[in-house]
Amino acid sequence: MTQPPLLQVRDVQTHFDIKQDGAFFWQKPATLKAVNGVSFDLYAGETLGVVGESGCGKSTLARTIIGLVKARSGSIKFNGEELVGLPEKAMRLKRKDIQMIFQDPLASLNPRMTVGDIIAEPLKTFFPHLNQQEMQTRVKAIMQKVGLLPNQINRYPHEFSGGQCQRIGIARALIVEPKLIICDEPVSALDVSIQAQVVNLLKKLQKEMGLALIFIAHDLSVVKHISDRVLVMYLGNAVELGTDQAVYAAPKHPYTQALMSAVPLPDPKAEREKKIQLLVGDLPSPINPPSGCVFRTRCPIADGACAESKPTLHGTEQHQAACLKI
């Protein structure tokens, strides 16, 4: 890409101090390494899909970027400005350009507020000079853009379906015209048909408004449909990064290969003949991760060398993987 990246993430580490049960008061708390050295670039108008099993650090990475969780080390630059260590007041102003859509559409909305007030809330923060009528005009316009009826402005969240509640969340994120939206599993709580509607809506709005998206999901089929590039995470680490065509056509990392093998195929014959790669063992604890490669305890091709050094992403600009055997 010739243009500079909108978002630059370099070696970000987000760790939490955990007081373990049965520990004496003088003992140091254990360190939970939720995100442990993740790096990537995101360009304007691009969608980065982030995938991995539960507990791999996807949501913590999202919350670190937006400033809801503080990074222990590393660098996060948005439009060339460093966000790590930015004072809270300055970070709050940055959230005009970085908005978030949450996983549970109903739980993310205040049940005591009308839809109009919920969507207008960011306007009151970032555009306090607008009068009530101007705010209402903007709210109705964005409601129409996301597929809601403007005459529903005085209703409450419980009067809407799950898909409609997620559209309200999208409208709230878009009302201040951000440059980046972080979607934290925005369709996982919705029916399959509604998932497709919401994903298509996000793609349409992205094209119209030139948005950059970080789309977090478990469903690899959904990620493939919306993403330009894919980041695969395992136990807080980035294990594969590449264009959607490269990652889906020829996954390099054994973990990505196992994830891809579990994706159902629309062709019944191909579905019956495909070989599913089952992972052995349980997911290690992020409090006490394996030495060297964090995936080695479940990897079918690991050997003694994998315990000695931690692999980093390497390969071409289009496709990289963190594996010593590649």
Do 163 and 77 belong together in one domain? no
Q: What is the mean pLDDT of residues 106-128?
A: 93
Q: Is residue 13 part of a domain?
A: yes
The CATH number for 90's domain is 3.40.50.300
Do 221 and 167 belong together in one domain? no
Do 58 and 183 belong together in one domain? yes
Is the pLDDT at 209 greater than 80, yes or no?
Answer: yes
Residue 17, SS3? strand
Q: In what order do the strands lie in the sheet with 98-101?
A: 98-101, 180-184, 212-216, 47-51, 229-234, 237-243, 319-321, 314-315
**Local confidence band at 1 (pLDDT 50, 70, 90 cut-offs):** low
Do 128 and 266 belong together in one domain? no
Q: How many of the other CB atoms lie within 10 Å of CB of 216?
A: 24
Do 211 and 165 belong together in one domain? no
Q: What pLDDT does residue 192 have? A: 82
Do 247 and 237 belong together in one domain? yes
- Output the CA angle 285-288-290, nearest 5 degrees: 90
Instruction: Please report where in the chains the tokens 């793609």 appear, as a residue.
Output: 203
Q: How many of the other CB atoms lie within 10 Å of CB of 326?
A: 14
Return the H-helix or E-strand segment holding 122.
helix 115-126
Q: Is residue 251 part of a domain?
A: yes
Do 128 and 116 belong together in one domain? yes
Domain of residue 166, residue span: 111-177
Do 118 and 47 belong together in one domain? no
Return d(Cα 249, Cα 265) in angstroms, integer.
14
Q: What pLDDT does residue 282 have? A: 82
Q: Is residue 24 part of a domain?
A: no
Q: Is residue 143 part of a domain?
A: yes
**Local confidence band at 262 (pLDDT 50, 70, 90 cut-offs):** confident
Do 143 and 285 belong together in one domain? no
Do 58 and 163 belong together in one domain? no
Q: Is residue 53 part of a domain?
A: yes
Do 45 and 183 belong together in one domain? yes
Q: Which of 5, 96, 49, 10 is nearest to 213 (CA)?
A: 49
Q: Is residue 263 part of a domain?
A: yes
Q: What pLDDT does residue 23 have? A: 67
pTM attached to this predicted model: 0.91
State whether the Cα torsion 65-71-74-75 is positive or negative: positive
**240 or 3: which leads in pLDDT:** 240
Q: Is residue 231 part of a domain?
A: yes
Do 247 and 171 belong together in one domain? no
How many distinct structural domains can be found in the chain?
A: 2
